[in-house]
Amino acid sequence: MSNKSAPDNARKSFGDVAPKLAEISDLVLFGDVWERPGLSKRDRSLVTCAALIALGKTEQMDFHFPRALENGVTQAELVELITHMAFYAGWPNAMSAIAKARPLLAPTKP
């Protein structure tokens, strides 16, 4: 997740209805938290995607799954993460996650 475009993404997305939430999202979440040096953006994406799967937050997967791929997570790793989470977060959560990820994934050959 590149911070190059982050300062205004939330403001453009929903700032008209929730200006303070958009400001905090842009400045704190994407401007500070995602930019901290303790974890790479790739690792932050893996953690974020795992949390979304565990919590069943499918609406947020549409944003974070593509960003994970942009941040260096491979398609195979995303599928492996979802498979792994099936046993820790529940089968239904993994099924919902794979449905959200499917449009991003190239079919695998048997």
pLDDT value of residue 7: 60
Domain annotation for the chain: domains and CATH numbers: 1-36 (no CATH), 40-110 (1.20.1290.10)
Distances (CA, A) of 33 to 27, 28, 36: 9, 6, 5
pLDDT value of residue 1: 41
pLDDT value of residue 12: 87
User: Residue 57: CB partners within 8 Å, gap ≥ 6?
Assistant: 51
pLDDT value of residue 108: 75
What are the pLDDT tens digits along the chain (110 aa)? 444 445 678 888 898 999 999 999 999 999 999 999 999 999 999 999 999 999 999 999 999 999 999 999 999 999 999 999 999 999 999 999 999 999 999 887 77
pLDDT value of residue 4: 45
Assign 3-class secondary structure to the chain.
Answer: CCCCCHHHHHHHHHCCCCHHHHHHHHHHHHCCHHHCCCCCHHHHHHHHHHHHHHHCCHHHHHHHHHHHHHCCCCHHHHHHHHHHHHHHHCHHHHHHHHHHHHHHCCCCCC
Rounded to whole angstroms, the Cα distance separating 21 from 10 reads 8
Q: By the 8 A CB rule, do 26 and 10 touch?
A: yes
